[in-house]
Structure 1
Amino acid sequence: MNEVDITTHPDRRLAAVAHSGPYDQIGPAYDTLSTLAEARNLVPEVKSMIGIFYDDPDSTPAAELRSHAAFEVGPETPIDAPLEQIELHGGKVAVYRLKGPYSGLKAVYHYLYGTWLPDSGEEPQDAPSYEIYRNMPGNTAPEDLITDICIPLA
C-alpha cells in the first residue's frame, strides 16, 4: 500500500445530490449533479468533484448506505433545490492517494480502517470519509484515475 499523508484540509462548500444504496452505484447521482450544474451554468464554478460516504459497507445493508455526489463550489455560487448545500469541515485529515480503477477503493478502505488507523496512534473524527477525484473517468483510462481517500482525524 502507498503512504498515508496527514495534512490539513480547508472547509469546503459543496453542491450535492444524495444517493442511497451500494456505493459503487453512485454514478447516476453524479450524472444528475453534472446535468444540473450544466443547466445552471455552474460548471465554471466547480473546483473539484467529491464523494462523501457516511456508512460502513461491511456493517450496513447495501440498500441503506448513504452518500453524496458533490462538486466543490465557491461561497457565492447559488445552490438551489434539488441540489443540497453541504459544508465539509476542514481540519486534520489522513489522505491515501489511489492511482488506478475505482474497483481498488474497497481494499484501500479496509487497509485504512483495519490496519493503518489502529497502528497510527490517530483517532478518527466523528465525520464521514470522503474522496476527492483528481481526474474524471470520462476522459481518463481506469489505470490512470487518481483518487484521494480522506479520513477526518481528531
Structure 2
Amino acid sequence: MKAPLENYHARMQRVLDHIDQHLDDDLGLDVLSGVAAFSKYHFHRQFASTFGVSVHRYVQLARLKHASHRLASKDAPSVTDVAMDAGYDAPDAFARAFRQRLGQSPSSFRKSPDWAPWLAAFGPLNNARSKLMQITYTHDDVTIRDVPPTPVAIIEHRGDRATLGDTIERFIAWRKAAGLSPETSPTFNVFRSERTPAIPADYSMDLCVGTDLPIAPDDAQMKPGVIPGGRCAVLRVFHDTHNLEPAALFLYRDWLPASGEDARDFPIYCQRHFSLFPGAQVHDVVVELFLPLK
C-alpha cells in the first residue's frame, strides 16, 4: 500500500508545483486534472479531500499571495497590472477579493503591508501544502541559548480556540494604535495549554508584543508582563508555522529526554520573526520555538 500512496501524493505534488510555476496561465480543472493524470470528474473532490481546501480556492489564494508579494516589492507595478496578472478581468474585482482576504485594499497594502492578517489569510494555503510535507527534526536542529528577559504587553486568550481570531484582531488593533510594528517590536506567543485540549474551553495562550511602554491602568485588554530570561532550547520552524504542535512534540518527546536537561517552570513559547534572517523576506516568516530550561 505504501508505494501506491506515495505515487498518489507525488501526482498531487505535481499539481501544487504546476500551480506555483504557472500562476499567470490557465489553471482550470481540465489543465490541473491532466497534470495529476486524474479524471477531471473526480479531481476536484480528490484535491479537496487531500488538502482540505477546494482547488478553486487554493488557486485563488496562491494568486493573491503572489500578487501581495509583488505589491510589497520595492519596484511594485501598478495595481491594474497586478490584478490582470493575477487572473482578474478588472482591478475592482481584484480589489474586492484582496480586501476580503487580507483586510486591506491593494493600494493600502502596497504603502504599508499589515503582515499579521496576511499570515492568517494564507493559513489554509500553508496548511494544504503541509499535508504532503512530512517535516522531521533532528537533535542537531536544536540549540541551547541564554536569552535576556523581555518586557511585553500581553493580551490573554482563554477559551475555545475557535474564537482565537477575535483575540488576534484585538491584539493587532492595539499594537497598531501603539505604533508597535511587527518588524521592529518582537511578537511572542506563550502556549499555556495544548493546541487541542480535551475540553476546548481549556485552551489558553498569551499574545505578546515586546515593549516597555506603560500600559494604561484602565486598559481592559492589555497588561504588562515579562518573557523571563534564562537558558532555552531553541528550534527554528520554517514550514507550517501556524501549527507548532509537531515541533513542540519533538522537543518534549524526543529532544528533552535524550538531552539530560530539565524543563524550567515556564511554558513553551515562540517568537515570530518577519525579516531577521539572512535572505528572508518579510513574508517568509520564521518561528523560533523556545523550551525554557533550568
For normalisation by structure 1, the TM-score amounts to 0.82
Distance 1:35 1:53 in 2: 21
Higher strand share: 1
- Match of 2:214, as an amino acid? P
Deviation track 1:4-57 (CA, whole Å, cap 9, x = no partner) reads 010011101111111123558644323211201222334499520000011234
Distance 1:24 1:92 in 2: 33
RMSD: 2.5
Distance 1:94 1:71 in 2: 21
- The partner residue of 1:146 within 286, 289, 293 is 286
Structure 2 residue 141 is matched with structure 1 residue 14: no
Structure 2 residue 173 is matched with structure 1 residue 30: no
How many pairs are equivalent?
Answer: 147
Structure 2 residue 217 is matched with structure 1 residue 78: no
In structure 1, the partner of 2:16 is none
In structure 1, the partner of 2:253 is 114
- Match of 2:206, as an amino acid? H
Distance 1:104 1:41 in 2: 28
- Match of 2:267, as an amino acid? P
Mean alpha-carbon deviation: is it higher for 37-46 or for 125-134?
37-46
- Give structure 2 stretches of 5+ with no counterpart: 1-136, 276-281
After TM superposition, list the pairs within 5 Å mapping 1:64-143 onto structure 2.
64-74=202-212, 77-80=213-216, 81=219, 82-135=221-274, 140=283
* Structure with higher RCO (Cα < 8 A, 6+ apart): 1
Higher helix share: 2
Question: CA, structure 1 residues 46+34, in 2 after alignment: closer, same or farther (shift >3 Å)?
Answer: farther
Any idea what SS the aligned residue of 1:102 has?
coil
Structure 1 position 106, deviation (Å): 1.1
Any idea what SS the aligned residue of 1:5 has?
strand
Q: Say if 2:214 and 2:224, in contact at 8 Å, map to a contact too.
A: no
Structure 1 position 78, deviation (Å): 1.9
